[in-house]
Amino acid sequence: MEYRKLGNSGLQVSLAGLGCNNFGMRIDAEQTRAVVHRALDEGITLFDTADIYGNRGQSEEMLGRALGNRRHEIVLASKFGMAMGDGPYKTGGSRRYIMGACEASLKRLGTDYLDLYQIHQPDPATPEEETLATLDTLVRAGKVRYLGNSNYAGWQVADAASIAKTSLSGSVRRTALSQLRLSSSSQCI
């Protein structure tokens, strides 16, 4: 397997990654385990899931169980931001939602940290400053190691970088800017 840096970071990932969106929907727990173990045996290290996958959480649960004690062999990526239920508090990029979504993903995955945590889609209802500051809080707490985004247009990444540069203070700005550069130059498979 060939390995490359993820974006501008020092994090090495396999050239091929495993998208886990079918875990809990099209394939069951036994099939998930077989796919995960085969991917590991082939040298795949990037595993990409989301809280919404597998009918709201089953992908993360199945992936966590299938990995078991091999969790340390991979780069685990998950995403948040799409509706995990009805009502205003189960979606988006607000501090309230992100903090709860991260804790729930960690529990489902059976781990105490995520290697890469990505906002799944832009949230126009939440100020970008709030989203970026909350993600920085998760990095500082050791729950998340790298940040990214999914389904953002180039201008949205540039806008977030500008906000981080002009509106956030000190280490929040440094973390957000370095992570935005990472996310804008990388794509999870």
Residues tagged active-site: 53
Give start and end residues of each alpha helix (H) in 7-127: 29-41, 53-67, 95-109
Beta strand pairing call for 3-5 and 12-14: antiparallel
Tell me the residue ranges of DSSP E strands in the chain: 3-5, 12-14, 17-19, 46-48, 75-80, 114-119, 144-149
Q: Is 76 left (phi over 0), alpha (psi -120 to 50) or beta?
A: beta
Q: Would you give the distance in Å from CA 88 to the centre of its chain?
A: 21
**CA 112 to CA 154: how far, in whole Å?**
31
155 three-class SS? helix
DSSP 109: H
**Count of alpha carbons within 13 angstroms of residue 125, beta-carbon side:** 11
